[in-house]
Homo-oligomer: A and B are copies of this chain.
Amino acid sequence: MTVGYGQYCPVAKAAEILGERWTMLIVRDLMEGAHRFSDLHRGLPGISRSLLADRLRGLERERVIERRALGGRPEYWLTSLGEDLKPALLALGEWAVRNYSGEPRRDERDPRVLMLWVQRHVRSDALPRGRFAVRFDFRAARPGRAWLLVEDGEVSVCDDDPGLEPELVIATDIPTLHSVFAGRLALAAALRDGSIRLEGAAGQVRAFHRWFGYSPFAGAARSMIARSA
């Protein structure tokens, strides 16, 4: 952001704005519906609060995002200029899907980030009404459990027992859930081979298939696999 390339070239301009560490991931999270400072911070483990604030200022200066602080808490939103970046960011991600698909690395198996993504992509309109909990049991992961708390179409993640008997338990492991979310492994296949087990009333199990949402790149991953098969 601060340091240009001294080149009057569109690629240089794009690199100037998006090339700094974390910036592309911040834009990605904004596209996925994160708007509050803490939301963004939670989705980017490793970034410091001051650096996040700095990057947000930079994006605001370049008119990619705007800060809204209408009375309540401040929020960050993509401007139309920022929304216009979507095709390019999708193209970049799809390139990565096509060319670097593989298992998540050791350091990429953070259940917290995965749960955040799962939460962000839940199809709220397909959620059963009322208040209930869904528990994820991860083999060989610390923390080994996480909860989704559903309350009238609103979903939140808990790392600790919310004290509510779960109506649905999903027993799996991090790489498997990652693969399903990313579209690299069909949910049906994972259920068949037992790498995911669903425990709960038939209605909740059926509903899960509808409200569980996938990565924006799942389509690209699926057609990759279909092509190579």
Contacts and interface: CB of A to CB of B under 8 A. Distances in A.
Contacts of A81: 99
B21 A9 contact: no
Given A19-B21, A84-B98, A88-B92, A28 B11 contact: yes
Nearest to A15: B24
Interface of A: 3-15, 17-25, 28, 44-46, 63, 81, 84-85, 87-89, 91-100, 104-105, 107-110, 113-114, 117, 178, 182, 215, 217, 220
Contacts of A24: 11-12, 14-15, 19
B84 A91 contact: no
A81 B10 CA distance: 22
25 contacts: A3-B21, A4-B105, A4-B108, A6-B108, A6-B110, A6-B113, A7-B25, A7-B110, A8-B105, A8-B109, A8-B178, A9-B25, A9-B117, A10-B96, A10-B217, A11-B25, A14-B92, A15-B25, A19-B21, A19-B23, A84-B98, A85-B95, A88-B92, A88-B94, A91-B92
A117 B7 CA distance: 11
